[in-house]
């Protein structure tokens, strides 16, 4: 066979076998692509992004899974993005700077709102929108968690995704949803499961001060609220860890993008049976994604409460996948000994608590967990006595 003909055949086959339309789209956008366990989003290299007429990069993680991804947008001082619309969903978290956005509804009406650092907002599905930098001196950088991999891989037609004229008027939300207004919904999830608190809106002005609700099932003093943003199939929640405490470990599906919002500390991650932990720093700007079924645990080491934002596939209203439905029903805060996904304090590796006690000492913080742990005994254990694995029943697998 002619060599040139053979090469053409091979190229044709490569376009018909193991095709990933999302990854192909990423390559053609010609902006930096970063891949790691997690990122400091404030420091990632960006490049000109023609589609947006601004700057950006892809912040991909090893644990993003099949449905979710993240990219950054940076708008230079006094500049604005191009108007754009798309039929994938996207949540925007403001990493740095301030600005405004204009959202055009299907009937031609426009909503204009201003935002500052640590705001969270979304745009109703396939509405045209534009983002403006409100400063003449400082850049505006936003983290955008999205389900573009799901949509592009499902339809594998870029024009359909970015030039689709179909409208979704049922997604717009109430008139005040871009003015900081919303609706508080309480959901009773049954006996022995913590009540879920939901806030339905399109815009949260400041995640550091937004009201959260008690969720002691995830750790004493833990606070939480879940967001329903523009009737989305994507989920977001914000949680807070008080000073002198930390949350219980748990595991779930891939694709949950966790942003540290305030406070200092770290997150530990490990698979069942691992003897070593992966450690991610905790401070504003850091984002990571726990891979599928990997335990992870959040620790506050500072003197102030620590908050975070988590965005994933499957909302409390539209769970989308079976694992998210189980989370919405409370399995994420139920002990693995009872068929859930959470490691109770009494079942965790002693090294975890000792590591945290040593960490808070450097910040001059005192533990408030002496009612749970014999801390004097844990600090006196030898390294060999500290070693141990998380206690998990052999029968527990990813079906729950």
pLDDT digits (tens, 9 = 90+) for 203-234: 999 999 999 999 999 999 999 999 999 999 99
Give the pLDDT confidence score for residue 381 in this predicted structure: 81
Q: What is the mean pLDDT of residues 81-96?
A: 98
Residue among 322, 318, 371 at smallest CA distance from 346: 371
> Has residue 333 been placed in a domain?
yes
One domain for residues 236 and 150: no
> Has residue 241 been placed in a domain?
yes
* Last-in-domain residue among 116, 143, 170: 170
Give 392's pLDDT tier (boundaries 50, 70, 90): very low
Can you tell me the distance from the alpha carbon of 343 to that of 72, in angstroms, rounded to the nearest whole number? Answer: 33
One domain for residues 202 and 71: no
Give the pLDDT confidence score for residue 189 in this predicted structure: 78
The number of folded domains in the chain is 2
User: What proportion of the chain, given as a percentage, has pLDDT over 90?
Assistant: 80
Domain coverage including residue 80: 28-170
Give the pLDDT confidence score for residue 277 in this predicted structure: 93
- The answer to whether residues 186 and 301 touch, using CB atoms and an 8 Å cutoff, is no
Element (H, E) at 6: helix 3-14
Can you tell me the distance from the alpha carbon of 394 to that of 182, in angstroms, rounded to the nearest whole number? Answer: 43
Q: What is the mean pLDDT of residues 45-64?
A: 98
Q: What is the mean pLDDT of residues 60-78?
A: 97
Give the pLDDT confidence score for residue 89 in this predicted structure: 98
Give the pLDDT confidence score for residue 391 in this predicted structure: 45
Any long-range contacts for 373-379 (C-beta under 8 Å, 24+ apart)? Answer: 373/345, 378/350, 378/353, 378/354, 379/354
One domain for residues 162 and 203: no
Asked whether the predicted pLDDT for residue 156 surpasses 70, the reply is yes
> Has residue 125 been placed in a domain?
yes
Asked whether the predicted pLDDT for residue 390 surpasses 70, the reply is no
Q: Which residue has the tokens 């540290």?
A: 260
Give the pLDDT confidence score for residue 5 in this predicted structure: 62
- The answer to whether residues 31 and 48 touch, using CB atoms and an 8 Å cutoff, is yes
> Has residue 326 been placed in a domain?
yes
- The answer to whether residues 125 and 171 touch, using CB atoms and an 8 Å cutoff, is yes
For 377, the token pair is 């005994």
- The answer to whether residues 181 and 201 touch, using CB atoms and an 8 Å cutoff, is yes
Residue among 255, 249, 250 at smallest CA distance from 291: 255
Buried/exposed 80-112: b ≥16 CB within 10 Å, e otherwise: bbeeebbbbbbbbbbbbbbbebebbebeeeebe
One domain for residues 127 and 181: no
Asked whether the predicted pLDDT for residue 394 surpasses 50, the reply is no
> Has residue 289 been placed in a domain?
yes
Give the pLDDT confidence score for residue 393 in this predicted structure: 39
Residue among 116, 59, 115, 122 at smallest CA distance from 257: 59
> Has residue 306 been placed in a domain?
yes
Can you tell me the distance from the alpha carbon of 300 to that of 223, in angstroms, rounded to the nearest whole number? Answer: 13
Give the pLDDT confidence score for residue 275 in this predicted structure: 86
Give the pLDDT confidence score for residue 395 in this predicted structure: 32
Asked whether the predicted pLDDT for residue 65 surpasses 70, the reply is yes
Can you tell me the distance from the alpha carbon of 72 to that of 94, in angstroms, rounded to the nearest whole number? Answer: 10
Mean pLDDT of the chain: 91
One domain for residues 331 and 248: yes
Give 333's pLDDT tier (boundaries 50, 70, 90): confident
Give the pLDDT confidence score for residue 384 in this predicted structure: 61
Give the pLDDT confidence score for residue 354 in this predicted structure: 94
One domain for residues 214 and 263: yes
Can you tell me the distance from the alpha carbon of 47 to that of 24, in angstroms, rounded to the nearest whole number? Answer: 18
- The answer to whether residues 205 and 177 touch, using CB atoms and an 8 Å cutoff, is no
Other C-beta atoms lying within 10 Å of the C-beta of residue 301: 22
One domain for residues 119 and 57: yes
> Has residue 11 been placed in a domain?
no
Q: Which residue has better confidence, 7 or 106?
A: 106
Q: What is the mean pLDDT of residues 184-192?
A: 82
One domain for residues 108 and 243: no
Q: Which residue has better confidence, 369 or 333?
A: 369
One domain for residues 316 and 213: yes
* Last-in-domain residue among 308, 324, 346: 346
One domain for residues 166 and 212: no
Q: Which residue has better confidence, 388 or 315?
A: 315
One domain for residues 325 and 232: yes
User: What proportion of the chain, given as a percentage, has pLDDT over 70?
Assistant: 92
> Has residue 287 been placed in a domain?
yes
One domain for residues 151 and 218: no
The CATH number assigned to the domain holding 273 equals 2.60.120.10
Give the pLDDT confidence score for residue 329 in this predicted structure: 84
pTM of the full structure: 0.92
Give 388's pLDDT tier (boundaries 50, 70, 90): low
Give the pLDDT confidence score for residue 16 in this predicted structure: 78
Q: What is the mean pLDDT of residues 105-134?
A: 97
Give the pLDDT confidence score for residue 397 in this predicted structure: 35
Query: Is residue 383 classed exposed, middle or buried when 0-12, 13-18 and 19+ CB atoms within 10 A define those classes?
Result: exposed
* Last-in-domain residue among 299, 326, 346: 346
Residue among 361, 259, 245, 243 at smallest CA distance from 310: 259
């Amino acid at each position: 066979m002619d060599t040139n003909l053979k090469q053409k055949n091979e190229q044709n086959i490569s376009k018909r076998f193991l095709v990933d339309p999302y990854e192909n789209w990423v390559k053609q956008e010609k902006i930096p692509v970063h891949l790691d366990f997690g990122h400091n989003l404030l420091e990632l290299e960006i490049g000109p992004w023609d589609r947006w007429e601004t700057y950006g990069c892809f912040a991909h993680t090893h644990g993003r899974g099949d449905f979710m991804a993240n990219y950054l947008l940076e708008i230079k001082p006094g500049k604005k993005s191009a108007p754009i619309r798309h039929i994938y969903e996207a949540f925007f978290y403001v990493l740095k700077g301030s600005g405004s956005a204009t959202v055009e509804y299907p009937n031609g009406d426009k909503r204009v709102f201003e935002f500052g650092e640590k705001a969270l907002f979304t745009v109703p599905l396939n509405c045209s929108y534009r983002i403006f930098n409100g400063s003449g001196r400082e850049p505006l950088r936003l983290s955008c968690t999205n389900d573009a991999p799901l949509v592009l891989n499902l339809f594998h037609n870029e024009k359909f995704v970015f030039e689709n004229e179909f409208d979704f008027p049922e997604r717009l939300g109430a008139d005040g949803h871009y003015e900081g207004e919303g609706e508080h919904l309480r959901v009773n999830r049954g006996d022995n499961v913590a009540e879920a608190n939901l806030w339905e809106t399109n815009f949260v002005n400041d995640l550091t001060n937004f009201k959260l609700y008690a969720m002691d099932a995830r750790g004493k003093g833990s606070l939480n609220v879940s967001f329903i943003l523009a009737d989305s199939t994507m989920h977001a929640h914000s949680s807070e860890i008080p000073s002198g405490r930390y949350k219980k470990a748990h595991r779930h599906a891939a694709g949950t993008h966790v942003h540290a919002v305030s406070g200092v500390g770290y997150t530990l991650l490990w698979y069942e049976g691992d003897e070593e932990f992966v450690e991610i720093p905790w401070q504003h700007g850091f984002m990571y994604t726990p891979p599928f079924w990997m335990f992870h645990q959040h620790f506050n080491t500072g003197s102030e409460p620590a908050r975070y934002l988590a965005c994933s596939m499957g909302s409390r209203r539209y769970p989308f996948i079976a694992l998210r439905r189980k989370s919405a029903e409370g399995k994420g805060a139920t002990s693995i000994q009872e068929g859930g996904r959470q490691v109770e304090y009494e079942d965790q590796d002693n090294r975890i608590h000792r590591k945290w006690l040593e960490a808070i000492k450097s910040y001059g913080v005192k533990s408030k967990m002496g009612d749970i742990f014999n801390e004097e005994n844990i600090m006196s254990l030898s390294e060999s006595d500290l070693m141990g694995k998380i206690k998990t029943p052999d029968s527990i697998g990813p079906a729950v």
